[in-house]
Chain A
Amino acid sequence: MSSTRVVSYAAVLALALAAGALPGQAAEPIRVGDINSYSVIPLYTGPYRNGWRMAVDEVNASGGVLGRKLEVVSYDDAAKPGEAVNRAQQLVSKDHVALISGTYLSNVGLAVSSFAKQNRVFFMAGEPLSDAITWEQGNRYTFRLRPNTYMQAAMLAREAAGLAARRWATVAPNYEYGQSAVRNFQKLLAVKRPGLKWVAEQWPQLGKIDAGATVEALAEGKPEAIYSALFASDLAKFVREGETRGLFARRAVLSLLTGEPEYLEPLKDEAPRGWIVTGYPWYAIKTPEHARFLKAYMAKFHEHPYMGSVVGYSTMMAVAATIRRAGSLDTDKLIKAAQGLRLTTPFGKVVFRAIDHQSTMGAYVGRIAVQDGKGVMADWHYADGADYLPSDAEVRKMRPAD
């Protein structure tokens, strides 16, 4: 090998190493740290990033917070909890951020929440659905915006209570989200409709569903209704196999998250008609909060918002509101400010509850229909998260004392 080649490789290496090692600039603006799985789950995190970018621009256009501009330092966690902890450390000790927000996967969210507790940093979790983040493993440094799995399962359980079906089958990805989705749905429905029979259950590995076999196994239980917590590629496979093999004929199907544009759009005209789902019908919501958000988003990014856009936007707005209310960047003051914080999101007014740091953001519940070759949610209504939370006594039992 020629020595010029060696030199050029070495130069590239050195450059790569040096580029990240440059010292940061003086902290004039207020810095917020953001961690998300941008490289691995771009489907959700791309719109998420658009969302918080829009929020930052809006906050800064109206004079920033505490008289300073808001600046976000954003890193990719590669969907690995260990990686996320390094990024969190980098944000805190190298980039000197005031607080951390973001994360998508439940295990990444939990890891960062544990880091926040250990290092006494404020953490605003946007998306992760795990119940544990605000309950079983909750801590005083961590807040969460989205309705968790329990709340969304409760919304569908209320719908299910109105159905005549007595024989139920369940299918959910085999990890905490799916397990919680099924367990809580069963628990809440059993209270409303005693004497139901659970005739079949399937637990495919996330992203690896053997759809044909799963469909046959569910059909073998002869259920009258099916409850699903599948999403993304598993959902598409399940829908196709189920339609072809006639699983959904004359059966009610309830499905978590399926109405979110991230998961509904890829199905195009094969969106399963009549399914009762939670989701986000951006095309039909007419409230002034949402109309303003929709218009600004479309103008800025030339595409419609996804669920991730709303979460990213609202997460950053919650961060700004927390800092504004605290009047300081001190972690204890931030926590105090976020407890009971009221915020208007594109979905309407939400409150971050003092008891468990969970926001009362809700979700839209409706039936899937197909219009102009696209799946949409019809007959929908907004389910306010506040109506689907367990009682304070139950929350206190689950959540460790600070």
Chain B
Amino acid sequence: MGNPALSFVAIELLTGLATAAVLFLVSCGLSLIFGVTRIVNFAHGSFYMLGAYIAYSLVSRAGGPVGFWGGLLLASAAVGLIGVAMEVFVLRRLYGGPELFPLLATFGVVLVVEDAVLAIWGPQDLLGPRAPGLKGAIEVFGHRFPSYELFLIALGVGVAGGLWLLVHRTRWGTLVRAATQDWEMVGALGVRQATLFTGVFFVGAFLAGLGGAVQLPLEAADHQMDLSIIIEAFVVVVVGGMGSIAGAFLASVIIGELQTFGILVFPKLTLVLIFVVMAVVLVIRPQGLLGRPQPEAGMNRAVEVGTGAGFQVPAVLLYTLCALVLAVPLVSGNYGRVVLTEVATLSLFAASLYFMMGPGGLVSFGHAAYFGLGAYGVALLVAKLGWGMAAALAAAGVLAGVGALVFGWFCVRLSGVYFAMLTLAFAQMVWAAAVQWDALTGGDNGVLGVWPAPWAGNKLVFCYLALGLCGGCVALLRRVLRAPFGYTLRAGRDSALRCDAIGIDVRRHQWLAFSLAGLFAGISGGLYALSKGGVFPTVMSVSRSIDAIVMVLLGGLETMAGSPVGAAVFTGLREQIGSLTDYWRAVVGAIIIALVIAFPRGIVGFIGARAARLAQGGR
């Protein structure tokens, strides 16, 4: 190729393919695991990171080509076994229960692995050796192209081919494909699901570990690897179609090339690009490029636990509890007031998510977007335009509500995991805007100087303000759930078909619920900004959306009262453990895992069930 412009494009294409190859190794395992077990495995990024770290240890001990390549394979196998351990010891206990719990457990595993890696390998970035025999570059179209990256491209294609043969030409593969379509039927036909699932986890974790291990000659193993790959891997899986190996391959290539060429065209907007692609694909072709439309199982099953009679918190108990909470700021110091303010704020945030997640059956992975819209709304209005606190708070609610109205219109057209992923895509777009739109949002440094109006500047006053506002909003949400609207919403969750038959527009109800939830999340976000004196992109990071889900599930999906309890316990744990040890992530992760195994109905649900059993025994 003599044309320099053309040869540049060609070399960029190759570079993009090398990125795509690693992306494929990680995401095909994720897709396989999801397809068969329906588990959204957050720990897949941790497998990737473990692959790199274990490979580093093995390779730096054993030298030579045999030591190097053997080390990579051994590390991948070790990660495969870790995946098996996770399936056997944690996830297997959760298969009967709500579909969201395994997801939460895998999130707990992410936290534990992060601290385990820190404890075992220390804080330093670990740069491994280069691949023996593939250290140099070869001349391609007049450019020097690393030979190792050519090897990666070949590896990606090889694994794709091998996996295709495994899935389409072996008995095990036939079972996997059958389970992907209907695992209950596969079980009914006498196939041992547990063994099948364990095998799938081994293959998936092995491939993720391999993906991490082969990164070693390219980059240092570091502690952020898990989170930096997992979101991209999710995007690939969703764009390609859940459970589709070919889809993951195609999507990896698209995302890999998009990133490579994206930085040429929009050097500063790289973050948002892949989420735009994901959103567009989900809106136009919800099942992904090569995915099959899914039967109406999805995540909605997650909430069936909450459809029973439901546990009613006795009124006396409720009022006593409220009175107790209201008395706390009088006796606690300023720090206690600040923590209580945070609990109140997050209670409203969690309750607004519960509103759509419980009765609405809409599990959002991106609820932090509306929290963030509210927070940024208040911050910009107060700090830049000098608005009053009350007006800014109201405007923040409206802003978040409008945001939810727009995004929700697209989201409610999908269901289950696809719904969750589209909410995530929108949340990531809003987050990317906050990070990269410096002129408006201040980028990473955020907006500062957002303190409450002077009359509310006192911590005691502001604490009561937060308690009153959040308590009022939660009560309002509860009232809405008991109105015909709430019952209709619940009906739509339990049987969309019957609702359609009697002339209820389920989608419109869901859309409205989504928007209301966004509005109240916005108010809580606004309060949060005022209590912290500023906003930063972290207020709407993925981890905040996950925190909200954890809070709701901690409290339990059976009653609204659960969410504030979940928020209080979650915040309390973080505050206490955070000041006790640097390894708070591992402790929080272990507690999450313990809770989903031991208290599958959440704290309030658990207490309710106990109370009900006691009452029966007394009769």
Residues of A within 8 A of B (CB): 1, 5-6, 9, 13, 16-17, 19-21, 38-40, 42-43, 46, 75-76, 78, 80-83, 85-87, 89-90, 92-94, 106-107, 110-111, 114-115, 118, 130, 132, 137, 174-176, 179, 201-205, 207-208, 210-214, 216-217, 219-220, 232-233, 236-237, 240-241, 244-246, 265-268, 270
| B220 interfacial by beta-carbon distance below 8 Å | yes
Residue A82 contacts which of B130, B136, B532 (CB distance < 8 angstroms)?
A: B532
C-alpha spacing A75/B579, complex, angstroms: 6
C-alpha spacing A130/B443, complex, angstroms: 13
Residue B144 contacts which of A21, A40, A245 (CB distance < 8 angstroms)?
A: A245
| B271 interfacial by beta-carbon distance below 8 Å | yes
Contact B263 A107 (CB under 8 A): no
Residues of A within 8 A of B267 (CB): 201-203, 217
Contact B144 A246 (CB under 8 A): yes
Known: A111-B532, A114-B448, A233-B125. A245 touches B333 (CB 8 A): no
Residues of A within 8 A of B172 (CB): none
Residue A42 contacts which of B19, B123, B459, B573 (CB distance < 8 angstroms)?
A: B123
Contact B582 A204 (CB under 8 A): no
Contact B538 A82 (CB under 8 A): yes
Contact A46 B263 (CB under 8 A): no
Residues of B within 8 A of A (CB): 8, 11-12, 15-16, 18-19, 115, 118, 122-127, 130, 135-137, 143-146, 148-149, 217-220, 222-224, 228, 259-261, 263-264, 267-268, 270-271, 333-336, 338-339, 342, 435-436, 438, 443-446, 448-449, 451, 459, 528, 532-534, 536, 538-539, 569, 572-573, 575-580, 582-585, 587, 591, 594, 598-599
Residues of A within 8 A of B149 (CB): 212
Starting from the known contacts A81-B446, A107-B536, A266-B124, 4 additional A-B residue pairs (CB-CB under 8 Å) come to: A17-B576, A203-B263, A216-B143, A220-B8
By Cβ-Cβ distance, the 8 closest A-B pairs, closest first, are A42-B123, A93-B334, A20-B576, A212-B15, A94-B335, A213-B260, A175-B444, A236-B220
Residue A232 contacts which of B125, B135, B260 (CB distance < 8 angstroms)?
A: B125
Task: Please report whether the interface of chain A is mostly helix, strand, loop or mixed according to DSSP.
Answer: helix
- Nearest CB in chain A to that of B338: its residue: A89
Residues of A within 8 A of B443 (CB): 175-176, 179
Contact A114 B127 (CB under 8 A): no
Residue A205 contacts which of B18, B217, B270, B572 (CB distance < 8 angstroms)?
A: B270
Known: A46-B123, A90-B579, A210-B263. A80 touches B334 (CB 8 A): no
- Return A245 CB to nearest CB of chain B, in Å: 5
- Return B349 CB to nearest CB of chain A, in Å: 13
Known: A20-B576, A233-B219. A216 touches B8 (CB 8 A): yes
Residues of B within 8 A of A21 (CB): 576
Contact A85 B533 (CB under 8 A): yes
Contact A213 B127 (CB under 8 A): no
Residue A245 contacts which of B143, B224, B271 (CB distance < 8 angstroms)?
A: B143
Residue B145 contacts which of A86, A179, A208, A245 (CB distance < 8 angstroms)?
A: A245
- Return A78 CB to nearest CB of chain B, in Å: 7
C-alpha spacing A201/B260, complex, angstroms: 15
Known: A19-B580, A76-B582, A268-B127. A6 touches B137 (CB 8 A): no
Contact B578 A213 (CB under 8 A): no
C-alpha spacing A213/B14, complex, angstroms: 10
Known: A1-B598, A266-B124. A233 touches B224 (CB 8 A): yes
- Nearest CB in chain B to that of A108: its residue: B536
- Nearest CB in chain A to that of B541: its residue: A80
- Nearest CB in chain A to that of B232: its residue: A208
Residue A210 contacts which of B19, B146, B336 (CB distance < 8 angstroms)?
A: B19
Residues of B within 8 A of A212 (CB): 15, 18-19, 146, 149, 260
Contact B578 A75 (CB under 8 A): yes
Task: Please report whether the interface of chain B is mostly helix, strand, loop or mixed according to DSSP.
Answer: helix
C-alpha spacing A113/B602, complex, angstroms: 39
Residue A203 contacts which of B268, B333, B582 (CB distance < 8 angstroms)?
A: B268
Contact A110 B448 (CB under 8 A): yes
C-alpha spacing A233/B148, complex, angstroms: 19
Contact B228 A210 (CB under 8 A): no
C-alpha spacing A237/B124, complex, angstroms: 15
Residue B264 contacts which of A207, A217, A219 (CB distance < 8 angstroms)?
A: A217
Residues of A within 8 A of B532 (CB): 81-82, 85, 111
Residues of B within 8 A of A241 (CB): 146, 218
Known: A93-B334, A205-B271. A78 touches B578 (CB 8 A): yes
Contact A176 B579 (CB under 8 A): no
- Nearest CB in chain A to that of B538: its residue: A80
C-alpha spacing A236/B16, complex, angstroms: 19
Residues of A within 8 A of B576 (CB): 16-17, 19-21
C-alpha spacing A395/B411, complex, angstroms: 50
C-alpha spacing A233/B11, complex, angstroms: 24
Contact A114 B534 (CB under 8 A): yes
Residues of A within 8 A of B137 (CB): 244-246
Residues of A within 8 A of B223 (CB): 40, 42
**Which residue, of A130, A241, A244, has the highest number of chain B Cβ atoms within 10 A?**
A244
Residues of B within 8 A of A80 (CB): 536, 538
Contact B15 A213 (CB under 8 A): yes
Contact B15 A92 (CB under 8 A): no
Residue A265 contacts which of B124, B336, B579 (CB distance < 8 angstroms)?
A: B124
Residues of B within 8 A of A13 (CB): 569, 573, 591
- Return A37 CB to nearest CB of chain B, in Å: 10
C-alpha spacing A311/B259, complex, angstroms: 37
Contact B218 A211 (CB under 8 A): yes
Residues of B within 8 A of A82 (CB): 528, 532, 536, 538-539
- Nearest CB in chain B to that of A232: its residue: B125
Contact A111 B448 (CB under 8 A): yes
Contact B335 A90 (CB under 8 A): yes
- Return B302 CB to nearest CB of chain A, in Å: 21
Residues of A within 8 A of B123 (CB): 42-43, 46
- Return A115 CB to nearest CB of chain B, in Å: 6
Residues of A within 8 A of B18 (CB): 212
- Return A231 CB to nearest CB of chain B, in Å: 10
Contact B268 A244 (CB under 8 A): no
C-alpha spacing A39/B582, complex, angstroms: 5
Q: Can you list 8 A-B contacts (CB < 8 A)?
A: A39-B583, A111-B448, A111-B533, A208-B228, A213-B16, A236-B127, A240-B217, A267-B127
- Return A178 CB to nearest CB of chain B, in Å: 10
- Nearest CB in chain A to that of B590: its residue: A12
Residues of B within 8 A of A38 (CB): 582
Contact B219 A211 (CB under 8 A): yes
C-alpha spacing A20/B580, complex, angstroms: 7
Contact B445 A106 (CB under 8 A): yes
Known: A43-B123, A245-B143. A217 touches B263 (CB 8 A): yes
**Which residue, of B339, B578, B591, has the highest number of chain A Cβ atoms within 10 A?**
B578
- Nearest CB in chain B to that of A249: its residue: B144
- Return A330 CB to nearest CB of chain B, in Å: 19
Known: A176-B443, A236-B127. A17 touches B572 (CB 8 A): yes
Known: A20-B576, A111-B448. A233 touches B582 (CB 8 A): no
Residues of A within 8 A of B575 (CB): 20, 86
- Nearest CB in chain B to that of A9: its residue: B598
- Nearest CB in chain B to that of A84: its residue: B532
Contact A115 B335 (CB under 8 A): no
Residue A107 contacts which of B145, B261, B446, B579 (CB distance < 8 angstroms)?
A: B446
C-alpha spacing A179/B443, complex, angstroms: 11
Contact B594 A9 (CB under 8 A): yes
- Return A217 CB to nearest CB of chain B, in Å: 6
C-alpha spacing A295/B431, complex, angstroms: 47
Residues of A within 8 A of B143 (CB): 216, 219, 245
Contact B335 A93 (CB under 8 A): yes
Residues of A within 8 A of B144 (CB): 244-246
Contact B444 A107 (CB under 8 A): yes
C-alpha spacing A179/B445, complex, angstroms: 12
Contact B446 A111 (CB under 8 A): yes
Known: A81-B536, A90-B335, A176-B444. A202 touches B573 (CB 8 A): no
Residues of B within 8 A of A87 (CB): 578-579
